[in-house]
A and B are shown apart, each in its own frame.
Chain A
Amino acid sequence: MLYRQGDLLLMKVDAQSGDLVESKNGCIIGYGEVTGHKHLLKGANWLQQACEDFEDFAKNGGDSVYLRVNDDGGELVHEEHDTIHIPPGDYKVIRQREYTPESIRYVYD
């Protein structure tokens, strides 16, 4: 199952290993480049599998990261997008990208 909010995609995946990074206020999964608006997933915690830098992912994109939505479910909110209800479970967070002949660049809305 896929849930998309602007330039971010949440992909439901099988249960992942990793340490839960407790975040009372939820996970900020992306910042806008100019506006400072943010995609915030309430009711979720990051899953630390290696040395992922979640803040850097939110700001700059990069390789996908994982998070776990609590049993009560989560809410993906953003200042300019409709809120999306996210069912419990583990998710892969993917930042939208764009092609250039020189490199792949991540997109910011």
Chain B
Amino acid sequence: MIAELTEEQKSKFGEYAEKWTKIGLNTDELPSMDILSKLINDVYTIAGLTIPNYVVLSDSPLGGVVTKNVWDNVGANVGDNVGANVGDNVRANVGANVGDNVRANVRANVRDNVGANVRDNVWDMIYGCHDADFLSFYDYFYHVCNLKKEVNELIPLVELSKSIGWWAPYENVAIIQRKPIEYHFNGNNQLHNPNNMAVKYRDGWGVYMWNGTRIPFNQSWIIDGEVNVEKIDSIENAEVRRCAIEKYTASRYVTESYYQIIDQSDWGKLLKKTMTDDEDIMMVQVKNSTPEHDGTFKDYFLRVPPTMTTAHEAIAWTFDVNAVDYNPLFES
């Protein structure tokens, strides 16, 4: 039983987290059919199953589901047999919490981010590159902690899973899904693409994401179509509606809607858009201190907390200063 890791073993956390994050997010093509077939055969054999008659490749999770549904006789899903007991074997030899660091790191980057948002569309499928956190756990213990005997039977599954998307093992057919061809992230490492799919597969299927929030297919117009106030107001889900408002810009949404002027002074205007099932949107509208080339002064808008009561308080808030203290000596 490994009750505690050595300092040398702990020092490998970063290396394995990085390795499996890269595996989980790369867009590599599948290995050759010879390699794939060998790995699949090994996985089935280790699980005590008969090698499937067919290996079918699909370009996306959708393709995998379609294949399953049009195939006459895929046989029973044998996913539960694959890799069974190996987890227990390793856990039995590793004390609680030991080694979860690598897995937790990879999980944050791959599974919680990509896997969770694509997985809802995956049916009957098991381990693939998006389960890199699971795979990293065993890879780490196999190589760093020398749990060769305990993990050995899982190695073909690890090798197969890291080079594919998800896959579905049936009695007669193994459906293998290719990896995505594109991932897009924002600066906070959240899936995000303001103009197209954030995760895209070879057959054109994919997932729309706005700063980590999944946009339903029937509302993909938020990302790649025409957005207007009426369409935004028709979105029932408040979280998705916020994404649409952000895409359209809150200032445009408020000023093109019915809004109230809460306060108006030399500091600017405080505008409020009342929302029915979400917090109200409060914007402060101020003039730029520096003139444009034509001598005019451009307005700009900043969203502020809905608790603001004056434009002065709102503009002070944007600099984390109390209104009574906010009175710049010079502005440009």
Interface centre among B246, B290, B304 (most CB of A within 10 A): B290
Q: Number of residues in A with C-beta < 8 Å to the partner?
A: 25
Closest B residue, CB atoms, query A107: B302
Residues of B close to A99: CB separation below 8 A: 282, 302-305, 317
Closest A residue, CB atoms, query B320: A94
Q: Would B330 and A80 count as touching, CB distance under 8 A?
A: no
Digit string of B292-332 for contact with A (CB within 8 Å is 1, else 0)? 00000000001111000000000001111100011111111
Residues of A close to B278: CB separation below 8 A: 101
A98 in contact with B318 given A2-B326, A4-B289, A80-B290 (CB within 8 Å): yes
What's the A-B contact tally at a CB cutoff of 8 Å? 67
CB distance from A50 to the nearest CB of B (A): 18
Q: Kindly state the interface size class of chain B when it binds its partner.
A: 20 to 34
CB distance from B281 to the nearest CB of A (A): 9
CB distance from B330 to the nearest CB of A (A): 5
Closest B residue, CB atoms, query A82: B332
Residues of B close to A84: CB separation below 8 A: 330, 332
Query: At the interface, yes or no: B279 with Cβ under 8 Å from chain A?
Result: yes
Q: Give the distance in Å from the alpha carbon of A87 to the alpha carbon of B289 in the complex.
A: 21
- Chain A residues touching B, majority SS: strand
Query: At the interface, yes or no: B200 with Cβ under 8 Å from chain A?
Result: no
Closest A residue, CB atoms, query B188: A103
Query: At the interface, yes or no: A5 with Cβ under 8 Å from chain B?
Result: yes
Chain A 85-109 residues near chain B, CB threshold 8 A: 94, 96-102, 107
A2 in contact with B303 given A81-B290, A97-B318 (CB within 8 Å): no
Q: Would B319 and A96 count as touching, CB distance under 8 A?
A: yes
Partner-A contacts on B (CB < 8 A):
187, 211, 242, 246, 278-279, 282, 289-290, 302-305, 317-321, 325-332
Partner-B contacts on A (CB < 8 A):
1-6, 9, 11, 60, 64, 78, 80-84, 94, 96-102, 107
6 smallest CB-CB distances across A and B, nearest first, come from A82-B332, A2-B328, A4-B328, A81-B332, A4-B331, A9-B319
